[in-house]
Amino acid sequence: MLDYALTFAFLCFGLGLAMNLYRVFRAPGVIDRVLALDTMVVNVIALIVLYGIKTKSGINFEAALLFAMTGFVSTVAFCKFMLRGDIIE
Amino acid sequence: MEQIAELVISALLVIGGIFAVIGSFGLLKLRDTMQRLHAPTKATTVGVGTALISSMIYFLVFEGTISWHELLITLFLLLTAPITANFIAKAQMHRFIKPEDLPGTGDTTDWATYDLEMTVANPDLIGPDLRK
């Protein structure tokens, strides 16, 4: 049963990632692209964690944590650049 | 015990997957950027949170080790999702929405996020003790 649920979750997060990718390419403005990239980061973190359950190893969590941090910092940098035209003033 | 844990983990994974799909679909479906901001920041955060909690239960029951990394990632995501949403909304407001078009605050002061622009345009708004 766990295998089926895991496969379903993989499919769901993969589908979400595909929709975000579509939104990155076809978006009305740059802010939607940044939002889609931020959502992609969250979905990829979930995929890394699910892969950790599938392979029964806890070695992937550092990767997930680093990915969360770099995703947050890059989104904030993007927004700061859109607001002020500069990142570190 | 392991049966119950398997059931709980499977339910959490399915619920999380559905929430993630709803969040990403809302990003495509909703009408304007301010509405689209809601879907990923709320639904996708719940989805990834349930995936992380199910991973934590899995390693606790089947491998016999408590791993705190998941809790750390969950806390980090729950802390940073509102901050990024706030930043994106602020960027959208300053790019496309004029202060005149917003509803009033019901107070004597205006929207705080436009304070800097308003005072640069009209320096008399600052009190004499703050003017340097």
Residue B130 is predicted with a pLDDT of 53
- Confidence class of residue B132 from pLDDT cuts 50, 70 and 90? very low
B30 in helix, strand or coil? Answer: coil
Contact check, Cβ <8 Å, B84/A75: yes
How many domains is chain B partitioned into structurally?
Answer: 1
Domains of chain A, by residue range, sit at 2-84
Residue B106 lies in a domain: no
As a whole number, the mean pLDDT across chain A is: 89
Residue B65 lies in a domain: yes
pLDDT in tens, B64-117: 888 888 888 899 999 999 999 999 998 888 888 877 777 777 777 777 777 777
Q: Which residue has the higher pLDDT, A11 or B69?
A: A11
Contact check, Cβ <8 Å, A8/B48: no
pLDDT in tens, B12-71: 999 999 999 999 999 888 888 888 888 888 899 999 999 999 999 998 988 888 888 888
Residue B6 lies in a domain: yes
Mutate to test the interface with A, among B55, B70, B95, B115 (most CBs of A within 10 A): B55
- Confidence class of residue B125 from pLDDT cuts 50, 70 and 90? low
Residue A15 is predicted with a pLDDT of 93
How high is the ipTM of this complex? 0.87
Shortest Cα–Cα distance, B84 to chain A (Å): 6
On the 0-12 / 13-18 / 19+ scale of CB atoms within 10 A, A74 is middle
Range of the domain at B52: 2-97
Nearest CA in chain B to A81: B91
Mutate to test the interface with B, among A34, A61, A73, A89 (most CBs of B within 10 A): A61
Q: What is the spatial distance between Cα A79 and Cα A75, in angstroms, rounded to a whole number?
A: 6
Residue A85 is predicted with a pLDDT of 75
Q: What is the spatial distance between Cα B76 and Cα A48, in angstroms, rounded to a whole number?
A: 16
pLDDT in tens, A18-28: 999 999 998 88
